[in-house]
Structures are given as structure tokens and as C-alpha cells.
Structure 1
Amino acid sequence: MSDFHVGVSGLVKVYPGATAPAVDNVTFSLPRGEMLALLGPSGCGKTTILRMIAGLVDPTAGEIVLNGRSIAAIPVHKRNIGMVFQAYALFPHMSIAENIAFGLEMRGVDRSERDQRVRRALDLVKLSGLGERRVSQLSGGQQQRAAIARSLVIDPELLLFDEPLSNLDAKLRDEMRDEIRDIQARTGVTAIFVTHDQEEALSMADRLVVMSNGKVEQIGTPGDIFDRPATGFVARFIGSGNFFPARVSDKPGLLEVQGLGRLKASQPLPASGLAEILIRPHRLTLATAAADNHFTGTVEHIVYRGQVQSMTVRCGEQRLQADLFTHAGQLPQIGDRVSLAVAAEDITLIGKADL
């Protein structure tokens, strides 16, 4: 892992009395200046990994490397790691400037330099002129910016975020998601954040580590994870999807799916046997009977979502979801017969079918 700024190797955490590891042989690495998301459902071990990197939890086994050296034996206050907590952890009796300066004061930085660095940090997070305010006088988004400034002002080797947006309302979450990504890109700080929100992870991270039950399911870019899920868990956890058991046809490149007929896939297929395929709802389009990979069904249910109309379509014994953009002309209604098509490259093979 010497080519990477931060990495963990064979990381394990077993809590006393537990029947299974909270973190089970996790390995990943991250180049300098990139942002990585630890993504997974509650209890999958992602926060435990973050806390082990920070030094707040001792690993049972494994190695943590930062900037070419092992930090497992280095105490938390000497790791030069900034951490932004879910609840911000700002001191309510201090001003925002005093909160930001706290870490510098603990490091013995003199007053003049502290003031300069605090001003730069306030500018960076768009809180200029608000340094003398109390925590209670700031909005949730401003408090989040102050927490980020406090972590950045120490010039950390690594910045850690623990569910940084979970306490914000939906609109503010979207705004802060872009803000955090912008701040990270402008500073060039290497960052890792924990989230259970797939949209958050896909839009913010350079690469993702998807986890389940303490283990790594897949590591990759957002595009890799969404378009080429390596396991059934990843395919179902990331985005929505239509999953079908399919039989490999005796004709090369074709899959036989009950209710949908023969579909051509561009992905290499096994020579024979059963497989499970994934078709994302937004990859389906209205089609004519002449289109490749087309099938016909009846619209049973419609949900209007503003930009998208989600339809449930019955094709024989199969039900599938199709998401159509609402500007695409006259859209089908409940009871209509529709022909749908999917491109060969949008059929994803995710493993053997569980039949």
C-alpha cells in the first residue's frame, strides 16, 4: 500500500462477547486527495472502521497506514486526523472562532498564527464575519461548516466524516453534499466518510467501499458500483432494479427469461445454465415491436414522481418497474398495453440464479 496515502489491510474488530466480528478482514486503500465512502446498512461495520482509523477504537488485528507509516500504535491526539461528527460536537459556550481555534490552541500554536488560520478556515467554509457568533445562533448547515472548518484548520493528513449530513433536512442535505465535495476538492485533503445513503455516496465519493455484515462486498468508482455490481447484495442495495432468473440460451449471447422472451446481452455469458440478471428501471424505454430486446406487458400501477413516471408492468408472470421521463410525450396509463425495450449493454449479469 506504499503507493497510497491511506490504507487498511486485514482489519478486524471483535468486540467482547460478540458471536461474529464487527469488522472482518477489511482491506482497501486510497490515493492522496481523493474522497472515499464507506457505504452500507446500519451495523455493517463502517463506523467501527472509521473509529479505528481515528484511533478511537483499537483494532483486534490488521494494519492502518497513513502517509507511508503504520499508525496503529500512535495515540489519537498525535495522528493529525480531523474528524467531523454526526452531531458536530461544537462547544456551545464558545464562539465559532474559538471552536475552530481550539485544536490549534491544544497544539500550542501562537495567537497571531491561530487568528490567521481561523480567518482562512472561516473564508473557506463561507462563514466570514460569523466568527464571534455562538453555536446557537447558527443554522444547521452553518454549524456543519463550522465543524468542517475546525477539522481543516489543523491541516490534517486525513479528514474523516461520520454520517455528516444525517441531521439536516433534505434540501440542506443536498446543498451541504455539494459544499463538502467542493471544500474537499479545493483543499485537496484526503477524506473518508461513512454513510448509509447511496445517493450521498455516489455523488460525493471518488470511490466506494460497499459493506455488509462486517465484510467488503465491492470496491470501485460510483460508475463501477452502480453499473457493474459484483454481488447480489450490491445490486439490490444500490439503486432500484428488476431482477430475473434467466437461462443461458443455446444461441450465443442470448438469455431466456420467462415472460420476457429471449434477450441479447453484451456481457460475456456462461456456456450454459442459470443466471440472475439485473435491469435498472430507468434503462427501459418505450419501443416498437421491431426493436431489439423488446417485450410487451400491461401497465398495472403508476407513481408520478415529477421528472419521472414509475410504472409497474406485468409481462406474463413477471412484474417489472419502468421509469420514464415525464417529458417523453404521451405516457401510458393504467391498463394500457406497452412495449418496452432494453439495450444489450444495460442487462447486467450478477450471478447464478437462486432457484
Structure 2
Amino acid sequence: MSDVHLSVNQLAKSYPGAQAPAVDDVSLHVPRGEMLALLGPSGCGKTTLLRMIAGLIAPTSGSIQLNGRDISAIPVHQRNMGMVFQAYALFPHLSVAQNIAFGLEMRGIKRAERAKRVQQALALVKLEGLGDRRVSQLSGGQQQRAAIARSLVIEPELLLFDEPLSNLDAKLRDEMRDEIRDLQRRTGITALFVTHDQDEALSMADRIAVMSQGKLEQIGTPDAIFDQPETEFVARFIGNGNFFDATVLQPHRVHIEGLGQLHLADALTPGTRVRLLIRPHRLRCVPSGSPLPLNAFSGRVTQRVYRGQHHTLGVQVGPHYLLADLPTQAGSTPAQGDSLMLTVAPADITSVGRHTP
């Protein structure tokens, strides 16, 4: 990979008395200017990994390189990294400008230069004119911007976010996602973003590293993680899914007990057993009287949940209970108890990793 900025090599962290490592042999490489999301459930090791990169936790084994230089044993205050915490960690007794200037003051930057860089940072995060205010006078979103400005003003090598949006309400969280992403792109800074929220990861990151039980399950672009998950864990954690055990009859054709034969775009090995994924939004309803398309099967609606732009239907198809997300259209969404015909395109059926004889 060209212009690798950060390299994590076989990094591990074990705590005395723990049954398993908190981080287990994780390797990843982050190009300069990339926003990488570390995504996974609570306790998966993502925050421990971030804190080892920051220097707040010493690794048990492995190495961390920044710009080709091994920083594994370098103290946190010498790594030149900015970190934005979930609780902001702003000093309530200082003004916004004083909070932002704190890191510069600790680095011995002269007063005039500090003032200039603080004003630039305030403008960067759209807090012009609010430097003299107390932290308590700012909204949640403004406090988050101040925390980001404090991290950026020191001109860090890396910007690290640890669940920074968790304390915001839903609407403000969406706004701050866009602002943080725009800010990262404008500055070109390399950033790592820890989150358990799949929507944050999908909407903000250039790539996503999905973690489970201390291990790296998969790393890739948001669309690759969502559309081509390599494991069932990744498939279940990123969005909803319908899962099936199938027997491969021909390279592009499988049989699913109770559902029949389906055609796939990907070529699989005949005679093997595979695990298949169909996302609910990939299912389509076949209008009554239309010619039957490829991969059509009938079922009965057992549940209907209104979600604004779409309905989520629970559909019983033989022994299988499927979720289908159908667009909300006046008078066209099947009601509970209705029979319907569903179809899925061959390209929208994904194998999630199990291939056994």
C-alpha cells in the first residue's frame, strides 16, 4: 500500500486473569489522509486498540509504526496525536479559547502564535466569536467542535476519536457526522474513529475495520463490508440479513430446503454446503399477474412494521422467516396476512464464508 501513514503489526494486549486477550494479533495499515472506523460491539477491543495507538495503554506484543518509525515504546506526550473523547474532556473553568490553547501552552508555543492558531482553529470548526465563552455556555455540538479544535490546533500526526458522538441526540449526531467528515477531508488529516454504530461507520469512513472478541474480522470499504461480508458475524453486525444453508448444485445454482433453487452471480463449488445472505432491502415484490422472474418464491406476510420510507415485512416462506424492506407506496404494500411473491437478483445473494463438502 503506497504512502502508509500508520501501521499496526500483530498488536496484542492481555490483562492478568483474563480468559482471552483484549486485542488479539491485530494488523492493519492506514494510508495518509484516510478516515478508518474501528467498529464492533462493546468489549470487542476497539477502544483498547485505539488507546494502544495513542500510547495510553502499553501493548503486550506487536508494534506500532508512524511514518515508518516504531513508536511502540514512545510516551503518549511525545506521539503528537490528537484525541477526542466521548465526554469531550474540556476544562469547565477555562474559556473555549483557553481550552483550545492548552496543548499549545504545554508545548511552549509563544503567546502571539498561540492566539493566531486558536483563532484559526475556531474558524475551522465554525466557532468564530465564541472563544471567550465558558464551556457551560456551549451546546453539546459546540462543545464537540471545541474538543475537535483543541485536538487539531496542535497539528497532530493522527486524530483519534473515541465514540465522540455517543452523548448527542439523534439529529445533532447526524449533523456532527457530516461536520467531522467534512473537516477531516478539508484538513487531510489521518483519522481513526471508534464506534459501535454501524451508520456512523458506513457514512463517515473511507474504510471500516470490524472487530469481534479482540480480533479483526474484516477490513474494507463501507460498500465492501456491507455487500460482501466475509463472515456471518460481519454480515449480522452490519445491517439486517436473511441467512440460509444451501447446497451448491452447479457453479451458479444452489438448493435451499423449503425455498427451492436459486441462481447466483458468483461461482461456487458444486457439492459443497454454503451459508448465504440476502439483505432485506434486496428483496422485491412481484406484482400480481406479472411473469415470474428468476429467483421467485411465494410466502405470507406475518408482520408489517412502518418505518417511514419503507415497511419491514416479516414473511413466512415454508420453514423460513424472512425480513423484506419494501418502499412505502400508497396502496401497494402488502398487509398482514396477505400472500405475496418475492424475488431477488442473483447478484444480491452473497456467500458468507462457509464452504463444506
TM-score for the superposition, normalised by structure 1: 0.97
Aligned residue number for residue 179 of structure 2: 179
Letter in 1 for 2:297: F
Task: Tell me the distance in 2 between the aligned counterparts of 1:340 and 1:258.
Answer: 17
Contact map agreement 2:298 2:317 (CA 8 A) in 1: yes
- How far off its partner does 1:57 sit? 0.3
Task: Tell me the distance in 1 between the aligned counterparts of 2:34 and 2:51.
Answer: 19
Task: Tell me the distance in 2 between the aligned counterparts of 1:166 and 1:63.
Answer: 30
Instruction: Name structure 2 gaps, 5 residues minimum.
Output: none
CA deviations on 1:104-157 (whole Å, 9 max, x unpaired) are 001011111111110010011010000000010001110000000000000000
Q: Does 1:326 align with 2:325?
A: no
Aligned residue number for residue 139 of structure 1: 139
- How far off its partner does 1:327 sit? 3.0
Task: Tell me the distance in 2 between the aligned counterparts of 1:354 and 1:326.
Answer: 40
Aligned residue number for residue 266 of structure 1: 265
Q: Does 1:13 align with 2:21?
A: no
Task: Tell me the distance in 2 between the aligned counterparts of 1:179 and 1:243.
Answer: 36
Quickly say closer, same or farther: Cα 1:284–1:2, change in 2 above 3 A: closer
CA deviations on 1:279-330 (whole Å, 9 max, x unpaired) are 0000001124521111111111000000010101111111101001103761
Aligned residue number for residue 284 of structure 1: 283
Task: Tell me the distance in 2 between the aligned counterparts of 1:134 and 1:303.
Answer: 45
The total of aligned residue pairs comes to: 354
Task: Tell me the distance in 2 between the aligned counterparts of 1:108 and 1:65.
Answer: 26
The two structures, once aligned, show a CA RMSD in angstroms of 1.5
Aligned residue number for residue 248 of structure 1: 248
Task: Tell me the distance in 2 between the aligned counterparts of 1:304 and 1:323.
Answer: 10
Task: Tell me the distance in 2 between the aligned counterparts of 1:15 and 1:328.
Answer: 57
Contact map agreement 1:297 1:316 (CA 8 A) in 2: yes
Q: Does 1:296 align with 2:298?
A: yes
- How far off its partner does 1:354 sit? 9.7
Task: Tell me the distance in 2 between the aligned counterparts of 1:41 and 1:253.
Answer: 34
Task: Tell me the distance in 1 between the aligned counterparts of 2:339 and 2:19.
Answer: 52
Contact map agreement 2:93 2:134 (CA 8 A) in 1: yes
Letter in 1 for 2:302: E
Q: What are the residue-to-residue correspondences of 1:70-219 with 2, within 5 Å?
A: 70-219=70-219
Q: Which one of 290, 310, 322 corresponds to residue 308 of structure 1?
A: 310
Contact map agreement 1:289 1:339 (CA 8 A) in 2: no
- How far off its partner does 1:351 sit? 2.7
Contact map agreement 1:177 1:200 (CA 8 A) in 2: yes
Task: Tell me the distance in 1 between the aligned counterparts of 2:79 and 2:41.
Answer: 28
Give runs of ≥4 in structure 1 deviating > 2 Å: 351-355
- How far off its partner does 1:90 sit? 0.1
Instruction: Name structure 1 gaps, 5 residues minimum.
Output: none
Q: Which secondary structure state, in structure 2, belongs to the residue aligned with residue 130 of structure 1? A: coil
Task: Tell me the distance in 2 between the aligned counterparts of 1:329 and 1:188.
Answer: 48
Contact map agreement 2:251 2:269 (CA 8 A) in 1: no
Of all paired residues, the percent bearing the same amino acid is 66
- How far off its partner does 1:273 sit? 2.4
Quickly say closer, same or farther: Cα 1:317–1:115, change in 2 above 3 A: same
Contact map agreement 1:245 1:354 (CA 8 A) in 2: no
